[in-house]
Chain A
Amino acid sequence: MKMEVSRRRILQKHLEPARPLRRCIHVDSEPIINAATCGQALMEEEDQEANIGIEQFYRIFNLHKQKEGRISYTREFLIGLASSPEARKKPKFLPEHPIVLMEARDLGHLRLHEMRWNGGKEDMDEERLHSP
């Protein structure tokens, strides 16, 4: 009897309820969570149930950055973000210059290239690179 009781106690101790992903923003969170995933998770949680300050986020984020590997993104992922409203805003500080545009230009060509590339056609044959 005694044995069984103590074993149960141990079991209970180990079975903690699963924590939702957004918990990764807390300081004491598991070190396994990747910084990029954390950022993405935050992005998805845009309704902001977990209301944390920017500073707090970056303090934690930088901790992760040091511990974890590098923040890497694929070309496709980066292009996927190009059309998000945040990415279309005008930068706060933008010098007046002939090469600077007042309105965000259309970045549709990026998607187009992506599709053509994924199509597996050899674009470079048509648009052959310079060869001497």
Chain B
Amino acid sequence: MNNKFDALKDDDSGDHDQDQGSPKDSEKEKAEDEDKEQNTSKKKMVVPGAGEHPLQYNYTFWYSRRTPGRPASTQSYEQNIKQIGSFASVEQFWRFYSHMIRPGDLTGHSDFHLFKEGIKPMWEDDANKMGGKWIIRLRKGLASRCWENLILAMLGEQFMVGEEICGAVVSVRFQEDIISIWNKTASDQATTARIRDTLRRVLNLPPNTIMEYKTHTDSIKYWRTLAPHTDNLCKSVRIDVLGDDESREGYLYVDSHCVI
């Protein structure tokens, strides 16, 4: 009721509308400035739109591609990986998904990553460093469909392992494609077994499919062996080791995520 009277009063003294508007505007600007400040350090959290179907977690799409011919030392893995966008609802997910090409249509040596917001698709991230991943190798032609089924299961919380899932990766390589799903605690066997079983079900994998679990610490050790002289290995070595030698690629890309 009070509001109504105030509104009437405003109508009578028309010009004051402007004056009343300005402090609000400056408040708004202030809020925007604060947002900007936050943006520089941390991205503003996305929220589901009204009426949209919220997801259990927010997620971020990332894309990375190995750039051939560039000297490795100048580019780090972190620089090479690009954020596409974050979403909080099913509708927002589809908006991004329908505006990106499918993994099967990617060319060259590239990866899509879909990780929970705040977790970088890197071994070094706090959420990943004790973790590992299930890896499934696919023959060419299957990546798009398997990737879709994998991420839909992840977004829909079909894995039922609490907070354990970190994200998923699809890696397009020379002769085959690889999909993987990352979890927080590599030593938690109940969790990894459950993830494996869910993967089998949602990807409709034949019983003889080989699934490999790899801890991120093993991946790091592996790279350390290959490049013992590099201190900053997690960030920049990967390309050094690979070079552009496609024949070695078959051996080296065992690790789906680390190779750019």
Contacts and interface: CB of A to CB of B under 8 A. Distances in A.
Interface of A: 35-36, 39-40, 42-43, 46, 54, 57-58, 61, 65, 70-75, 77-79, 81-82, 84, 86-91, 93-95, 97, 99-105, 107, 110, 113, 117, 123-124, 127-132
Please give me the 9 A-B residue pairs with the lowest Cβ-Cβ distance, nearest first: A87-B94, A130-B139, A73-B156, A72-B157, A104-B98, A86-B91, A71-B56, A87-B91, A91-B95
Contacts of B208: 131
Secondary structure of the B side of the interface? mixed
A123 B203 CA distance: 11
A54 B47 CA distance: 10
B157 A71 contact: yes
B157 A81 contact: no
Given A36-B53, A100-B99, A129-B138, A82 B94 contact: yes
A78 B59 CA distance: 15
Interface of B: 47-56, 63, 82-85, 87, 90-101, 106, 110, 136-139, 141-142, 145, 148-149, 152-153, 155-158, 176, 202, 204-206, 208-210
Contact of A123 (B100, B158, B204): B204
B156 A74 contact: yes
A99 B132 CA distance: 28
A86 B52 contact: yes
B199 to A, nearest CB: 12
